[in-house]
Amino acid sequence: MPIYLAAAYAVFWALTFVLVFSIWLRQQKLEQEISDLAARLERSDKNTG
Amino acid sequence: MNFFRKVCAIVAKDVAAELHTREMVSAMLVFAVLALFIFSFALDLRGAMARAAAPGVLWATVAFAGTLGLSRSLAREQQSGCIDGLMLAPVDRSAIFFGKAIGNLIFMAVVETVLLPLFSALFDAPLLQPEVLLVAVLGTVGYGAVGTLLAAIAVNTRAREVMLPVLLLPLAIPALIAAVQATGRLVEGGTLAEAGGWVRLLVVYDLVIVAVSMLTFGYVVEE
Amino acid sequence: MRKLGQDWLGIVLAGLSSAALFVALGMVFLYAPREATMGDVQRIFYFHVASAWVGFFAFFVTFAAGIGYLARGERRWDILALSSVEIGLTFITMTVVTGSLWARPAWGTYWTWEPRLTISAVQLLIYIAYGMLRAAIESPERKARFAAVYGIVAFVTVPLSWFAIRWWRTIHPDILTSGEGMAMTSRMVHTLLTSLAAFTLLYATLLRQRTRLERAADALAWLRLRAENEKGV
């Protein structure tokens, strides 16, 4: 009986964590793209500037 | 040209096009009959079970055949470039919506006119009562209205027609439940008053869904 | 485009929702009474109902945001709509899964066509379809417009589905679960309301994070476009 109770509350926590983690992952990807872009811009500035 | 005449013109165009080839309605009919057979075999419907299952099988069949017709109707519209033409003319968006929707309703009605007697015979269920026809009309109106709106959306997606059942069926659930329950009550020998709650729900659904579909249709066809 | 600085509101929300969830959890296990017929398994009820209500609220926000987008045509309404759907889907999934986990020990079956569970499953289907619709459209403007229309029409059918399912279950009650009514004591009400508040705060926290993510993605895409055009990078 208590296994279902524990499983249910684990589900609440797990699904919340999945969403938070998914947002965090996408944020990491964005930050990676930002540094890539910054690097490319620097290189381009060095070449032309 | 006033609103009513614009709507009639659009309906007349669609019906004339269909009368020419009859491909859409015949496909819907063949599909419906096939679905009827599949349900009968799959659920082993005989005798009393058949009569009990008749309303459900009927409405499931109408729903699926309906998606065929709705997708085809809007796809045809897109291919012929007709909607773009209608948009250039000074036609009110809601007139286009009602024109398309009424055309679709007529096609579904043709299919149901064949299905109801067929079901009556095969399932030994008294489906040819005027009360059942009322329920059929109410259910079809709601389904056809929201179906027209969603078909207009679906046709413009990558997946095209495949998208329509996914979008439409969950939204049709209130009408489906109400239509099946009302038809079931009437088939068991109940009066319209007994099925009244379900009929009222269908009316509310129809009013709400037609209003919302009409108001948002313009946003779907504008470019 | 507004600059995205340090997110004080986000931090405050995260703190508040964590605290609220902690309190709610405490109430669920220590304050709420042990239910007579079902025992401790019944404690699933509080978060299960809270996630159902907040999930539905999330879809209402999408409905309102859809109207906002059609009226104004501004991207921020679309961001609100899609973010709210993502969070709403998470909550509704919780509702359906925990409902199933509750049904098994309480009524011996993993699924019951109980109104709340059924309407949650219907919402799950509707908003998965919403996601599929967005994914099937290339143009961002069309994506936003069609999604807004679907978000509006779909939400309008949910209360109607709720009534239809309720009446359907009243006429054809599940023999297994017909003892569904639960006597609510005041302690149970307090626990439920606290859970509801905690979930609402959680929703706000997640919404904040998700919308900020989308705005950052937009800003980056715009910057990339500028870099390619102006620098040939």
Complex ipTM: 0.92
Report the alpha-carbon distance of residue B8 to residue A12 in Å, rounded.
54
A48, closest residue in chain C (CA to CA): C231
Position B49 scores a pLDDT of 86
A12: chain C residues, CB-CB within 8 Å: 47, 51, 94, 98
Report the alpha-carbon distance of residue A32 to residue A26 in Å, rounded.
10
Whether residue C40 lies inside any domain: the answer is no
Whether residue C13 lies inside any domain: the answer is no
Q: What is the mean pLDDT of chain C?
A: 91
Q: Would you call B150 and C150 a contact, using CB atoms and an 8 Å cutoff?
A: yes
Position C193 scores a pLDDT of 95
C95/chain B closest Cα distance in angstroms: 18
A33: chain C residues, CB-CB within 8 Å: 220, 224
Of A12, A27, A30, the CB nearest to C98: A12
**Domain of residue B79, residue span:** 3-221
Which neighbouring-strand residues pair with C35? C39
Tens digit of each residue's pLDDT (9 = 90 or more) over A20-41: 999 999 999 999 999 998 888 8
A16: chain C residues, CB-CB within 8 Å: 90, 202
How many Cβ pairs within 8 Å bridge chains A and C? Answer: 78
Of A12, A19, A33, the CB nearest to C206: A19
* Number of folded domains that form chain C: 1
Whether residue C28 lies inside any domain: the answer is no
Q: What is the mean pLDDT of residues C63-68?
A: 98
Report the alpha-carbon distance of residue B77 to residue B96 in Å, rounded.
11
Position C1 scores a pLDDT of 43
* Number of folded domains that form chain B: 1
A49: chain C residues, CB-CB within 8 Å: none
Whether residue C25 lies inside any domain: the answer is no
C149: chain B residues, CB-CB within 8 Å: 149, 153, 216, 219-220
The alpha helices in chain B, defined as continuous H runs, are 3-21, 23-42, 47-80, 82-88, 93-123, 130-154, 163-171, 173-187, 196-221
Of B146, B166, B177, the CB nearest to C153: B146
Binding partners of B (≥3 Cβ pairs within 8 A): C
pLDDT at B104 over 70: yes
C-alpha distances in Å from residue C100, one per residue of B6, C94, C107, C112, C114 = 52, 10, 10, 8, 11
Q: How far is CA B105 from the centre of its chain?
A: 6
What is the DSSP code (8-state) at residue C110? S
Whether residue C27 lies inside any domain: the answer is no
How many Cβ pairs within 8 Å bridge chains B and C? Answer: 88
